[in-house]
Amino acid sequence: VQLVESGGGLVQPGGSLRLSCATSGIDFDDYGIGWFRQAIGKEREGISAIAISNDEYDGDIYYADSVKGRFTISTDNAKKSVYLDMKSLKPEDTAVYYCALDPEGPEIGSLYYTPDPREYRYWGQGTQVTVSS
């Protein structure tokens, strides 16, 4: 399994960016793709996730409160790429952003779900997002 992020960069406060996560080598029927971020001196934070499966849970989505209403997660039709559209960016969004895969069919649509980095087995290399004027 390979995950490759792209799309990071420097953006002014209030601006927008689209992060992409290109996936390959996936051989699971039911898995989750999550977006995490880690700022300097802080713990890795799960900010969004999407379920990919062959059942009614396909497309279930999670957003952390810190990004809800500003970030949107989506996939392409082939479900080979996962995107994170970020708008109204704030300086506190500055971090390295990672996409990751949980192969155990996480219940992303559950009311109590939060992405746990320990459950995501495969990780990309990360892409830096800096929000600054």
pLDDT (tens, 9 = 90+) of the chain, 133 residues, equals: 999 999 999 999 999 999 999 999 999 889 999 999 999 999 999 999 999 998 889 999 999 999 999 999 999 988 899 999 999 999 999 999 999 999 998 899 898 999 999 999 999 999 999 999 9
pLDDT computed for residue 105 by the predictor: 84
Q: Is 81 left (phi over 0), alpha (psi -120 to 50) or beta?
A: beta
pLDDT computed for residue 77 by the predictor: 87
User: Which are the contacts of 127, defined by CB distance < 8 A and separation ≥ 6?
Assistant: 5, 6, 7, 8, 19, 96, 97, 98
pLDDT computed for residue 106 by the predictor: 87
Q: CA of 8: how far to CAs of 45, 53, 90, 96, 133, in Å?
A: 17, 28, 14, 9, 16
pLDDT computed for residue 80 by the predictor: 92
The rounded distance, in Å, linking the Cα atoms of 35 and 44 is 10
pLDDT computed for residue 58 by the predictor: 92
Residues facing 3 on adjacent strands: 23
pLDDT computed for residue 45 by the predictor: 96
